Amino acid sequence: MPTVLGLETSCDESAAAIVRDGRVLASAIASQVEEHARWGGVVPEIASRRHVEALPQLLARVLADSGLSVADCDAVAATVAPGLVGALLVGSVTGRTLARLHGKPFLGVHHLEGHLCSVELGEPLPPGPYLVLLVSGGHTELVRVDGPGLYRRLGRSHDDAAGECFDKVARLLGLAYPGGPAIQAAAAAGDPRRFPLPKGRVSRPGGGYHPHDFSFSGLKTAVLRRVQALQEAGEPLPLADLAASFEQVVAEVLVERSCRCAADEGLDTLVLVGGVAANRRLRALLEQQATARNLSWRVAPLAWCTDNAAMIALAGERRFAAGRVSAIGLGVAPRLPLEQADRLYETQACF
Ligand code: KG4
Ligand code: ZN
């Protein structure tokens, strides 16, 4: 029953958590959202500074809430890839310092492996293979999981991530950052069929389309054109209908391509994780379509969809239980793909 202290600082949430045997003993998150909202997106330099300020308090809180000390933990985990380089460094240096001070092993965690694990903070998944739709502010990926650490990316966005698209569209609709929750709230009373919007597709060099890939930049432009046309006509913006139509098309395209990918790969289980997985319309559509196609489906618990440290601690716990630890000199890798997450546990630090 390993007990792992986890730290997360890859973007704009500072977080600490303690997980034991897949159960969350304590978790604390300090969001920087309000600070970045003024700029309409994350400002990397501000993010790093806020992580430095927030981590000591978060750490004190999870230790107090769990009644444990760092010495009671078996290992310390921190996100080291991918993300903003300065932000990642704060968690990595803090985690490695704590590990060193207390003579504990260090686990450098891949943030996306953390998101994959988030679903198991609800209940454990059956052994793979299964297909994960990972949708966050920085990533939109379809990942085949064949077992612990065995990942193959089968689909991706060629431009904006789904969450990024929510954030950009919210901005042009005059809604707050982050855009996902704001659009969801605005869309609640809207008509999702009022404005037909494009389901961006990615052409293949030899003709046809990538069946499992995504493109969201054209959708953002289409919403912008709609808004401009309405403004030029002097009409008030039908915010609820625009938000609902946008949310609907994003949910449809994500679910349709995921189901298609599962069918093409012969996979019968679909798993939804990442910040955008908090979206009600997307969760409902996935459940409906997966059921209609006889697929099993699992969605990350709402509390663990957006960035948190419990999922990082759990990913670390899984690696630790499998006998893996990271080199204490491990650095950060802002762009490391998930398929290469194993490199974080090589005896000699590779970066
Ligand atoms: O996973 P996450 O917290 O951070 C990254 O790793 O990127 O995801 C953040 C993203 C943001 O783009 C935010 O707008 C989106 O998740 N998001 C949502 C909702 N809640 C958060 N998107 C749609 N509907 C939501 N309810
Ligand atoms: Zn994330």
Looking at ligand 1, which residue's alpha carbon is closest to its atom 3? Answer: 306
Provide the pLDDT for residue 30: 98
Query: What average pLDDT does the structure give for the chain?
Result: 97
How far apart are alpha carbons 128 and 298 in whole angstroms? 13
Confidence of residue 39 (pLDDT cuts 50, 70, 90): confident
Average pLDDT over residues 18-30: 97
Q: Which of 306, 311, 312 to mutate to test the pocket of ligand 1 (most atoms within 8 A of CB)?
A: 306
Q: How many CB atoms lie within 10 A of CB 60?
A: 12
Q: Is 79 in the pocket of ligand 1 (CB under 6 A)?
A: no
Is residue 163 packed enough to be buried (19+ CB in 10 Å), middle (13-18) or exposed (0-12)? buried
Q: Which ligand is nearest to the CA of 42?
A: 1
Ligand 1 close to Cβ of residue 91 (< 6 A): no
DSSP readout, 166-204? Answer: HHHHHHHTTPPSSHHHHHHHHHTTS-TTSS-------B-
- CA of 244 from ligand 1 middle (Å) equals 17
- Kindly state which CATH superfamily the domain 3-117+305-345 is placed in: ATPase, nucleotide binding domain (3.30.420.40)
For ligand 1, is residue 278 a contact (CB within 6 Å)?
A: yes
Give the whole-angstrom CA distance, residue 241 versus residue 92.
44
Regarding the beta carbon of 138 and ligand 1, being less than 6 Å apart is answered yes
Residue 269, SS3? strand
77 vs 98: CA distance, rounded Å:
10
Looking at the CA of residue 178, tell me the nearest atom of ligand 1. 14
The phi, psi pair for 326, rounded to 5°, reads -100, 160
What does the pLDDT look like over 192-248, one tens digit per residue?
999 999 999 999 999 999 999 999 999 999 999 999 999 999 999 999 999 999 999
Residue range 47-67, pLDDT digits in tens: 999 999 999 999 999 999 999
Neighbours of ion ligand 2 (CB under 5 A): 136, 307
Q: For residue 186, how far is its CA from the centre of ligand 1 (angstroms)?
A: 16
The residue whose C-alpha atom lies closest to atom 10 belonging to ligand 1 is: 137
Within this chain, domains 3-117+305-345 and 127-299 share the same CATH topology = yes
Q: What confidence tier does 11 reach under pLDDT thresholds 50, 70, 90?
A: very high
- Lowest-confidence pick of 37-46, 107-116, 168-177, 225-234: 37-46
Banded pLDDT at 127 (limits 50, 70, 90): confident
* Distance (Å, whole) CA 27 – CA 13: 13
Domain boundaries, the chain: 3-117+305-345, 127-299
What is the per-residue pLDDT for 22?
A: 95
On whether the CB atoms of residues 218 and 200 are closer than 8 A, the answer is yes
Question: Measured from the CB, is residue 167 less than 6 Å from ligand 1?
Answer: yes
Q: Give residue 341's pLDDT.
A: 98
> What does pTM read for this prediction?
0.98
CB of 308 sitting under 6 A from ligand 1: no
- Does the domain spanning 127-299 belong to CATH 3.30.420.40? yes
